[in-house]
């Protein structure tokens, strides 16, 4: 009996969420339709030329990037996420006590060992 009343009330509890999703979707749809209908439609040769930051394009935009670029980017994200884990530890430092301190020392040690390994392997060298 209780499950039947709970399952019947769940959609009523979430109607504001569904209403906001409908309004947001409607806004996106109306905005896209309005820009396509009301915007200018004259395609000239100047408008079709790729242009970025006031600099004329030179060469092929599909030129391959060095793998080092992506490796450094991935390593930056990896170490950045690891540093983000330190914030909750700092906030709860007093509650964690000495065990939390030793666990953070272990975490930082492993992070430092990984960083030293990357430097020894030359992952951050550009040559």
C-alpha–C-alpha distance, residues 127 and 120, integer Å: 14
8 pLDDT band, cuts 50/70/90, is: low
Tell whether 27 and 74 lie within a shared domain: no
Do 69 and 109 belong together in one domain?
yes
Judgement on whether residues 72 and 127 belong to the same structural domain of the protein: yes
- Given a contact cutoff of 8 angstroms between Cβ atoms, the answer to whether 68 and 76 are in contact is no
In this structure, the dihedral spanned by the alpha carbons of residues 61, 64, 67 and 73, taken in order and rounded to 10 degrees, is 10
Q: Residues 69, 80, 96, CA angle at the centre, nearest 5°? A: 160
Q: Is the pTM of this model over 0.75?
A: no
**Please, what is the end-to-end C-alpha distance for the chain in angstroms?**
71
Q: Is residue 96 part of a domain?
A: yes
Please check whether residue 29 lies inside any domain of the structure: yes
Residue 45 lies in a domain: no
Euclidean distance between CA atoms 92 and 114, whole angstroms: 26
Positive or negative, the CA dihedral 66, 70, 75, 77 is positive
Q: What total number of domains does the chain contain? A: 2
Q: What's the domain range around 20?
A: 1-37
> CATH number for the domain including 87?
1.20.58.1610
Q: Is residue 50 part of a domain?
A: no
Contact present, 100 and 91 (Cβ < 8 Å): no
Is 72 in the same domain as 114?
yes
Same structural domain, 15 and 69: no
CA 119 – CA 113 distance, rounded (Å): 10
Q: Specify the pLDDT at position 92.
A: 87
Identify the residue whose tokens are 């983000």. Answer: 84
Q: Mean pLDDT throughout 83-94?
A: 86
pLDDT tens digits along 18-77 = 999 999 999 999 999 999 999 888 878 877 776 667 677 677 767 777 778 888 888 888
In this predicted structure, the answer to whether residue 90 has a pLDDT above a threshold of 90 is: no
- Considering the domain architecture, whether residues 83 and 124 belong to the same structural domain is answered as yes
Residue 49 lies in a domain: no
């Amino acid at each position: 009996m209780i499950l039947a009343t709970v399952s019947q009330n769940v959609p009523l509890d979430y109607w504001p969420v569904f209403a906001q999703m409908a309004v947001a979707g409607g806004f996106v749809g109306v905005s896209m339709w309005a820009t396509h209908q009301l915007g200018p439609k004259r395609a000239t040769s100047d408008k079709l030329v790729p242009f970025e930051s006031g600099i004329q394009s030179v060469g092929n935009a599909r030129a391959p990037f060095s793998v080092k670029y992506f490796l450094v980017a991935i390593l930056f994200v990896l170490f950045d996420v690891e540093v983000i884990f330190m914030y909750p530890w700092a906030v709860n430092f007093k509650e964690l006590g000495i065990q939390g301190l030793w666990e953070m020392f272990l975490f930082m040690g492993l992070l430092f060992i990984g960083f030293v390994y990357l430097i020894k392997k030359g992952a951050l060298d550009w040559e």
